[in-house]
DNA sequence: TGTACATCAGTGAACGCGCGTTCACTGATGTAC
DNA sequence: TGTACATCAGTGAACGCGCGTTCACTGATGTAC
């Protein structure tokens, strides 16, 4: 047997998939703290020790789930940004809405990405790339907005030195020129408002505060965007 | 013996304090998930069962810590709001800074309040009052800003119906009149931006993004406040 | 094509750990007369 | 002031639970000649 892929290799790939899928379901139902290798093995009818042929530790499995979650969220955001909406404001609003929807459908995965860090767990290198995808999406939308004029320059320049590092500037291919030279410092507020608003709702802090959470979310994104020179098309 | 307070009662009060203090320290060092009754009892030289004379369950102890944390944060925010800074913008910036400072000094307590909800733990009634204190502080600052004219009315009215419920309106003593009639919908963005920015930094998402986290935080609060008609005095 | 050997997935028992909670108990503290 | 009784803080053993990880093993799958 050597038909490019052996039966053993196929079985391995398949079980690898099943393990991750089961783990993801447990994560979705109980949260990261309750994710246990033994429980996953039990459900798959395996000895718990068998999982160590696939992941060297619980943390490794968790890392795989984190990377997948960042990628799923990144896909959703990129797709929304690439939609037909005209202008940076409309595109950003579409991104925000898609992120919120994904978060509502994947509460525990959202918590894993943006909630309290799992104690004792240090995110390894592999997560860094996927984690910056939403920021990249924002960067692209804003740069397009600068290019097509749908991003207003700020009314006045922020005082003091610029604060965004070259890591941030790298996302937009270098620091923008005047009159947008304080754009990077401003822009991260959009990310913070997005993540903050979603977490605020998801973690239960806006309970009983609004008659329509989805509508308020859009308002919040629009209000935050005003400070960045972006007009989000409401209603 | 009945000198108003018996020796037994004094001992009880004292031990109650020690339990909470020890629990709070464990929480601060390890996070909520790692908080264990047995560990607290061990450190105090007690049998673990002894704690049940003081708290009927682990969750009850956790609730006490949550209430205390909300109150500590509320104290800090109220004090900052009552400071000498003139105008709503300066006062709100002072509040934001004090909240951030408290959060940096009490990371796990912040996570307990605004991070991922503890799975299986349902916040009881007792936490609701203390939890709304920061919102009350914001409400007071804004109302003072309306009164003294340091809060700009918005350039244009938000489209659609108002979304804030009467629970929110209650914080400012009823819905504000024109031209501030969409103020409540806008204002919650300040809260979301504050909590969002602090969590973003604390949970590690802004690592390597800024040369000066404290300075950027102020910028972020100022940018968010522009959409609410509030000028924060930077630099 | 057939055989000898190497690889590797999965097993099951074990180690060592810590947890929340219950319960019958003891002995000290407080109270009523 | 002294005695009889009630209250209550704290004990220590036990119940029942689940976890991550290691290790020597077996038997099937794959490979080289």
Give the 3-state secondary structure of B75-107.
HHHHHHHCCCCCCHHHHHHHHHHHHHHHHHHCH
8 Å CB contact between B73 and B134: yes
- Residues contacting residue B138 through CB under 8 Å, at least 6 positions apart: B92, B95, B187, B190, B191
The whole-chain average pLDDT of chain A stands at 95
Cβ contact A223–B117 (<8 Å):
no
Residue B44's nearest nucleotide, by CA–C1', is D10
Question: Is pLDDT at A2 greater than 80 in this prediction?
Answer: no
Residue B3's nearest nucleotide, by CA–C1', is C30
Find, in chain A, the residue whose alpha carbon is nearest to that of B201: A192
| Contact residues for strand C with beta carbon within 7 Å | A 8, 11-12, 15, 45-50, 53-54; B 1-2, 6-9, 35-39, 48-49, 52, 57-59
8 Å CB contact between B151 and B230: yes
Q: For residue A13, how many other CB atoms are within 10 A of its CB?
A: 11
pLDDT at B192: 98
For chain D, which bases have at least one atom within 7 A of a protein Cβ?
8-14, 18-24, 29-31
Question: Is pLDDT at A89 greater than 50 in this prediction?
Answer: yes
What is the C-alpha separation between A119 and B77, in angstroms, rounded? 28
CA distance, residue A54 to nearest chain B CA (Å): 27
Cβ contact A210–B164 (<8 Å):
yes
Cβ contact B193–A196 (<8 Å):
yes
pLDDT at A119: 79
Question: Is pLDDT at A49 greater than 80 in this prediction?
Answer: yes
Cβ contact B163–A31 (<8 Å):
no
Quick one: average pLDDT of A89-113? 98
Higher-pLDDT residue of B118 and A68 is A68
pLDDT at B85: 86
CA distance, residue A202 to nearest chain B CA (Å): 9
Question: Is pLDDT at A221 greater than 80 in this prediction?
Answer: yes
Length of chain A: 235
Region of residue B204 (left: phi > 0; alpha: psi -120 to 50; beta: else): left
Q: Residue A1: pLDDT band by 50, 70, 90 thresholds? A: very low
Quick one: average pLDDT of B228-233? 96
CA distance, residue B7 to nearest chain A CA (Å): 41
Quick one: average pLDDT of B7-11? 93
B120 to each of A183, B94, B170, how far by Cα in Å? 42, 36, 31
Quick one: average pLDDT of B115-125? 87
8 Å CB contact between B140 and B95: no
Phi, psi of A147 (to 5 degrees): -65, -45
CB pairs A-B closer than 8 Å: 170
Question: Is pLDDT at B2 greater than 60 in this prediction?
Answer: no
The model's pLDDT over A161-212, given as tens digits with 9 standing for 90+, comes to 999 999 999 999 999 998 999 999 999 999 999 999 999 999 999 999 999 9
Q: Vertex A76, ends B224 and A114: CA angle to 5°?
A: 50
B8-CA/C32-C1' distance, Å: 18
Q: Pick from A136, A163, A215 the residue to mutate for testing the B interface (most B CBs within 10 Å).
A: A163
The model's pLDDT over B211-225, given as tens digits with 9 standing for 90+, comes to 999 999 999 999 999
What is the C-alpha separation between A216 and B186, in angstroms, rounded? 9
- Whether A57 sits with its Cβ under 7 A from any strand D atom: the answer reads yes
Quick one: average pLDDT of A3-9? 80
B4-CA/D12-C1' distance, Å: 34
* Of B33, B205, B216, Cβ closest to residue A185: B216
User: Model-level pTM?
Assistant: 0.95
B186 to each of A70, B81, B116, B228, how far by Cα in Å? 30, 20, 25, 6
What is the C-alpha separation between A9 and B164, in angstroms, rounded? 57
- Whether B13 sits with its Cβ under 7 A from any strand D atom: the answer reads no
What is the C-alpha separation between B215 and B218, in angstroms, rounded? 5
User: In a 10 Å sphere around its CB, with 0-12 CB exposed, 13-18 middle and 19+ buried, how is residue B16 labelled?
Assistant: middle
Quick one: average pLDDT of B8-22? 96
CA distance, residue B23 to nearest chain A CA (Å): 17
pLDDT at B38: 98
For residues B207, A168, B224, B161, the Cα torsion angle rounded to the nearest 10 degrees is -110
8 Å CB contact between B158 and A234: yes
SS3 state at A93: helix
Any idea what DSSP says for residue A53?
G
Cβ contact B192–A204 (<8 Å):
no
8 Å CB contact between A218 and A232: yes
Q: Residue B1: pLDDT band by 50, 70, 90 thresholds? A: very low
Report CA torsion sign: B94, B76, B229, A149: positive
Quick one: average pLDDT of B25-52? 96
What is the C-alpha separation between B158 and B137, in angstroms, rounded? 24
Helix axes B107-114 and B7-30, enclosed angle (nearest 10): 90
The model's pLDDT over A124-167, given as tens digits with 9 standing for 90+, comes to 899 999 999 999 999 999 999 999 999 999 888 999 999 999 99
* Of B34, B164, B208, Cβ closest to residue A167: B208
What is the C-alpha separation between B183 and B147, in angstroms, rounded? 14
Any idea what DSSP says for residue B162?
-
Report CA torsion sign: B211, A139, B224, B189: negative
pLDDT at A27: 96
The model's pLDDT over B127-147, given as tens digits with 9 standing for 90+, comes to 999 999 999 999 999 999 999
- Whether A36 sits with its Cβ under 7 A from any strand D atom: the answer reads yes
What is the C-alpha separation between A40 and A62, in angstroms, rounded? 12
* Tokens linked to B67: 């209430």
Q: For residue B228, which residues of chain A lie inside 8 Å, CB to CB? A: 223
Question: Is pLDDT at B228 greater than 70 in this prediction?
Answer: yes
Alpha helices by DSSP H, listed for B124-212, are 128-131, 133-148, 166-171, 183-202
The model's pLDDT over A36-47, given as tens digits with 9 standing for 90+, comes to 999 999 999 999
What is the C-alpha separation between B133 and B174, in angstroms, rounded? 17
pLDDT at B66: 97
* Of B111, B216, B226, Cβ closest to residue A116: B111
Q: Residue A100: pLDDT band by 50, 70, 90 thresholds? A: very high
- Whether B44 sits with its Cβ under 7 A from any strand D atom: the answer reads no
CA B42, chain centre distance (Å): 31
SS3 state at A144: helix
Cβ contact B234–A158 (<8 Å):
yes
pLDDT at A4: 63
A140 to each of A36, A54, A92, A146, B184, how far by Cα in Å? 39, 37, 10, 10, 32
Give the DSSP letter string of A207-219.
Answer: TTTBS-HHHHHHH
Identify the helix (H) or strand (E) that includes residue A193. helix A183-202
Quick one: average pLDDT of B113-117? 96
């Amino acid at each position: 047997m050597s038909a490019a892929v052996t039966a053993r290799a196929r079985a391995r790939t398949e079980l690898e998939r099943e393990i991750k899928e089961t783990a993801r379901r447990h994560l979705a139902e109980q949260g990261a703290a309750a994710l246990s290798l033994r429980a996953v093995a039990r459900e798959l009818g395996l000895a718990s020790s068998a999982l160590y042929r696939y992941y060297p530790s619980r943390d490794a499995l968790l890392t795989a789930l984190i990377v997948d979650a960042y990628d799923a969220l990144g896909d959703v955001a990129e797709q929304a940004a690439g939609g037909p909406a005209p202008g940076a404001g409309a595109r950003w609003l579409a991104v925000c809405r898609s992120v919120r929807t994904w978060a509502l459908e994947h509460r525990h995965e959202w918590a894993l990405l943006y909630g309290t860090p799992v104690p004792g767990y240090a995110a390894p290198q592999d997560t860094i790339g996927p984690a910056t995808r939403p920021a990249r999406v924002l960067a692209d939308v804003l740069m397009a907005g600068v290019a097509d004029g749908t991003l207003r320059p700020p009314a006045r320049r922020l005082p003091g030195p610029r604060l965004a590092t070259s890591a941030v500037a790298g996302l937009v291919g270098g620091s923008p020129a005047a009159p947008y030279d304080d754009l990077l410092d401003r822009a991260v507020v959009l990310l913070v408002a997005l993540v903050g608003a979603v977490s605020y709702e998801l973690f239960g802090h806006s309970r009983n505060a609004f008659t329509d959470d989805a509508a308020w979310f859009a308002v919040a994104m629009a209000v935050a965007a005003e400070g960045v020179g972006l007009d989000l098309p409401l209603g």
